[in-house]
Amino acid sequence: MEIIVVGCGKVGRLLASELSKENNNITVVDTNADKVQSVSTLVDCMGVVGNGTSYEVLVEAGVNTADIMIAVTSKDEVNLLCCVIAKRAANCQTIARVKTPVFSAERNFLRRELGISMIINPEFEAAREIARLFQFPSASEVYSFAKRRADMLRFKVPPTSNLVGKALKEIGYLTQGSVLICAAQRGKNVQIPDGNYVIRENDVLSIIVLPGTANKFFKSIGLAINPIKTSLLIGGGTTSYYLAKFLTKMGIRVRIIEKDRDRCVELADALPKVSIIHGDGCDHNFLQEEHFNLMDSMYTGTGIDEENIFLSLYARDQVRHKVVTKVSRLDEVDDLLSTLNLDAIISPKHLTAEMIVRYVRAKKNSMGSNVETLYKLLDGSVEALEFYIQKNAKVTGITLKDLKLKPNVLIAGIVRGSKLIIPGGNDSIMAGDSVIVVTSNLGFQDVHDILAE
């Protein structure tokens, strides 16, 4: 596909890199010549120096033949205007990143009236992910498929778990047909496990579960499932604002610590059910005075990654159940973070890039199916994809035991109507199903890509 990315900041750079791996032709646009040069050299893409709201600049970037134009500059108004101009100039698909709560609240109106294909608010999406993590304190990542009819969770196996030392084929009494272990990471080794895989302590496992059954499974393997009733948010930024709204709706009592007095006043007006505390959340003495160790959960969301990481390390063994860490520069510190044993990490910029890549891949429709959902797991070395199966797909009407799959491909779930089927060898795929595939073969565009030649 021909794709234009306006804005060469962290998100634009990440998008250009990820989309180029999908065999797309990328052109980046930015007013800063150094940023354009840096991204175009890193990604081997075309670069145009100029303002993305200029029709002439967009024409130079190839908008007349573009399939998708993505605007991810730091200014919401610029992103929206870029999309409007591109839509009028070439009627291509358009995606805008917006961060302002006002625009986010009106995103459906803006999409409809301005003809924008997709509007993404990174902070809103991050808050929604954190809220889901608080629903599953034992999980470090939570993903949803088939309109939340299936959940995928990632967790670390504790030394005391009754999973330790058992092969997957031996734990049917624990999974009871409602849980499937579909990916495993041991150190830096990642694999799609078969029935002979023996679980060890500290393995990181990804599981597909029926909605509402995850906590029952966690309890059966010795993981804590204590519900979260209180939460402390460090930093009163936009993500904390959205998160507080999500959590209060879930019945969780929320406190926010923010060191800017004016921002405290704003938050107090906007969030009447939330306790707003003026103070420095990075001051350990202040946290002790606020009895943070009595909280069930904590989110470290200051604007500085290092502060968030240090705070989470400090709070990890004191907050009762869950600590989520916001990290913006994930690529720069990923190797370090893997050694720190943090509960869960959230990156709004990476979430944004993943959602856009998912959208772009879904637009590459084929005769047999198209990608409905895409998640990158285990540091990007594994993908979990959801395919919608159409009538003429070659995978239908064949039992899974007779379906010739490529190595390292697992059919992890079949969603039929409102039901999730944890598949066995005698199950088969039908037209109209949504099929969840987990694989270490990256870049699948079509369900037929799973088949061995």
Co-location of 296 and 380 in the same domain:
no
Average pLDDT rounded to a whole number, residues 38-48: 90
Amino acid letter for position 245: K
Of 120, 147, 182, the position where a domain reaches its end is 120
Co-location of 412 and 312 in the same domain:
no
Q: Is residue 106 part of a domain?
A: yes
- Residue 365 has a pLDDT of 56
Alpha carbon distance 37, 375 (integer Å)? 30
Output helix, strand, coil percentages for the chain, rounded to the nearest 5: 35, 30, 35
254: enclosing H helix or E strand = strand 253-258
> What confidence tens digit (pLDDT) does each residue in 205-237 have?
999 887 777 888 888 888 877 789 999 999 999
High-pLDDT (> 70) share of the chain, %: 96
Co-location of 303 and 390 in the same domain:
no
**50 φ, ψ to 5°?**
165, 180
Of 89, 120, 151, the position where a domain reaches its end is 120
Co-location of 368 and 265 in the same domain:
no
pLDDT confidence band for 364 (50 / 70 / 90)? low
Q: Is residue 353 part of a domain?
A: no
List C-alpha distances in Å: 430 to 117, 145, 209, 210, 354.
30, 18, 21, 20, 28
How many residues make up the chain in this entry?
Answer: 453
pLDDT confidence band for 333 (50 / 70 / 90)? low
Q: What is the layout of strands, in order, in the sheet containing 2-6?
A: 46-49, 25-30, 2-6, 68-71, 93-97, 118-120
Alpha carbon distance 410, 169 (integer Å)? 15
Co-location of 309 and 404 in the same domain:
no
Co-location of 242 and 305 in the same domain:
yes
Q: Is residue 209 part of a domain?
A: no
In the predicted structure, residue 248 carries a pLDDT above the cut 60: yes
pTM for the whole thing? Answer: 0.82
Average pLDDT rounded to a whole number, residues 319-333: 82
Average pLDDT of every residue of the chain:
88
Contact 253, 230 (CB under 8 A): yes
Which two three-digit tokens encode residue 355?
């959602």
Q: CATH code at 383? A: 3.30.70.1450
> What confidence tens digit (pLDDT) does each residue in 404-430 have?
999 999 999 998 988 888 888 899 999
Contact 387, 370 (CB under 8 A): yes
Of 120, 147, 168, the position where a domain reaches its end is 120
Co-location of 109 and 10 in the same domain:
yes
Average pLDDT rounded to a whole number, residues 148-163: 87
Q: For every residue of 107-136, which 3-state class applies, written as one string?
A: HHHHHHHHCCCEEECHHHHHHHHHHHHHHC
Contact 198, 165 (CB under 8 A): yes
Name the residue range of residue 68's domain: 2-120
Report which of 193, 215, 219 is spatially closest to residue 204, judged by C-alpha positions: 193
Write out the E strands in 68-115: 68-71, 93-97
Co-location of 368 and 259 in the same domain:
no
Co-location of 8 and 111 in the same domain:
yes
For 161-182, give the DSSP string. Answer: -TTTT-BGGG-HHHHTTSEEEE
Q: Is residue 113 part of a domain?
A: yes
How many structural domains comprise the chain?
3
Q: Is residue 350 part of a domain?
A: no
Report which of 47, 54, 52, 11 is spatially closest to residue 26, judged by C-alpha positions: 47
List C-alpha distances in Å: 376 to 4, 91, 107, 136, 387.
23, 30, 26, 19, 15
- Residue 268 has a pLDDT of 96
- Residue 109 has a pLDDT of 87
Co-location of 313 and 366 in the same domain:
no
pLDDT confidence band for 334 (50 / 70 / 90)? low
Provide CB contacts within 8 A for 14, sequence distance 6+: 331, 349, 350, 353
Q: Is residue 150 part of a domain?
A: no
> What confidence tens digit (pLDDT) does each residue in 166-179 have?
999 888 777 777 78
The three-state secondary structure class of 226 is coil
In the predicted structure, residue 369 carries a pLDDT above the cut 60: no
Provide CB contacts within 8 A for 172, sequence distance 6+: none
Co-location of 365 and 308 in the same domain:
no
Q: For every residue of 295-311, which 3-state class applies, written as one string?
A: CCEEEECCCCHHHHHHH
Average pLDDT rounded to a whole number, residues 2-30: 91
Alpha carbon distance 348, 328 (integer Å)? 7
Alpha carbon distance 123, 349 (integer Å)? 9
> What confidence tens digit (pLDDT) does each residue in 253-268 have?
999 999 999 999 999 9
Q: Is residue 264 part of a domain?
A: yes
> What confidence tens digit (pLDDT) does each residue in 263-299 have?
999 999 999 999 999 999 888 899 989 898 899 999 9
Half-sphere exposure of 255 (CA within 13 A, CB side): 18
In the predicted structure, residue 367 carries a pLDDT above the cut 50: no
Higher pLDDT, 6 or 381: 6
- Residue 252 has a pLDDT of 95
Alpha carbon distance 373, 366 (integer Å)? 15
Average pLDDT rounded to a whole number, residues 7-26: 89
The three-state secondary structure class of 271 is coil
Amino acid letter for position 222: G
Q: CATH code at 17? A: 3.40.50.720
Q: Is residue 138 part of a domain?
A: no
Co-location of 22 and 115 in the same domain:
yes
